[in-house]
Copies of this chain bind each other. A is one copy, B any other.
Amino acid sequence: MSVTLADVARRAGVSPATASRALGGRPHVAPATRMRVRRAADELNFVVSPEASRLAGGARGRVGVVVPHLAQWSCGAALEGLEPVLRGAGVDLLLYGVGDPAARTAFFADLPARRRVDALVVLGTALDEQERARLELMAVPVVAAAGRGGQPGVRVDEHAAARHAVDHLLHLGHRRIGAVAAAGPPDGVLEAFAAAHRDALHDAGLAHDAGLLVRVGRGAPGAAEGAGRLLGLREPPTAVVASSDEVALGVVRTLGRARLRVPDDVSVVGLGDHPLAEAADLTTVCRPAREQGAEAGRMVLEALAGGAVPTVVLPSRLVVRGSTAPPGRTT
């Protein structure tokens, strides 16, 4: 049926063991022999069977990626960073979506990854105690990426990111700065956002005003509601920071409907540097999603090589675009 290592060995006039060594790039093979085997393999169009190889104790190299929301750009971007690193090292990437709660339960219950993967990357979601315990049971390295922290892996400092945003507005001269925190991200992230907003205003010596932080539901309706609540304040803010670019765009739209111009009347800052933020000319704070993925990939490789998984916090970076400006003349 398909070409086997034995075929290649025969054609090259060596034993299967030597052929295996030669092809696998392992030592103790004469250069000439290696060449010969390589050529034979080429001619036969041979590719090792990963099953057989693994079964026989060879190639490690399969990592599972657990992702909640594939459609979310940040997950995709992280994957895009992760994939080449892993592939470059010859390890395969198995995808496990756990967006659906049922699927999530099933994943951790079936522990389907057991024996299927040599390591796991958990992308953009926090694991609860039970889930962590299940993973522990698998006895493979687990790298968290883009999560809220708490597990070894890579993430960004959410508090710092949000502060970049608020500080930018303060720096522009704004004194009434609203914040819209929309549900969606893991709790820890939202908390960091709220805290950063509070801290920044406090550090600027501004009186605390609980009304400036509004917590809303996810999606477009949430963003609209948030903007509406802020606008309805006795003294509406001259600038708004949103917990994500998605929310920020919703805020911009709601402002527009209220005949308020961005940034002339109100400045808006997002969080994340969504690909569309550039098109929408939205000032935002870049959370390097790709980089997080790539870093996670490197961590996996190290872990596979026997190392421990460290914790790395990547910096975020303010990206100033056209949705922010100094406060206008009137309020």
Contacts and interface: CB of A to CB of B under 8 A. Distances in A.
Contact of A49 (B47, B55, B87): B55
Question: This chain: how many copies in the complex?
Answer: 2
Interface string A265-283: 0000000001110111100
A100 B73 contact: no
B223 A279 contact: yes
Most buried by B among A75, A76, A83, A279: A279
Contacts of A77: 70-71
Interface residues of A, number: 59
A219 interface: yes
A52 interface: yes
A157 B58 CA distance: 47
A100 B115 contact: no
A196 interface: no
Interface string A53-90: 01100000000010001111101110110011001000
Nearest to A93: B95
A111 interface: yes
A220 interface: yes
A73 B289 CA distance: 14
A219 B83 CA distance: 23
Contact of A97 (B2, B84, B279): B84
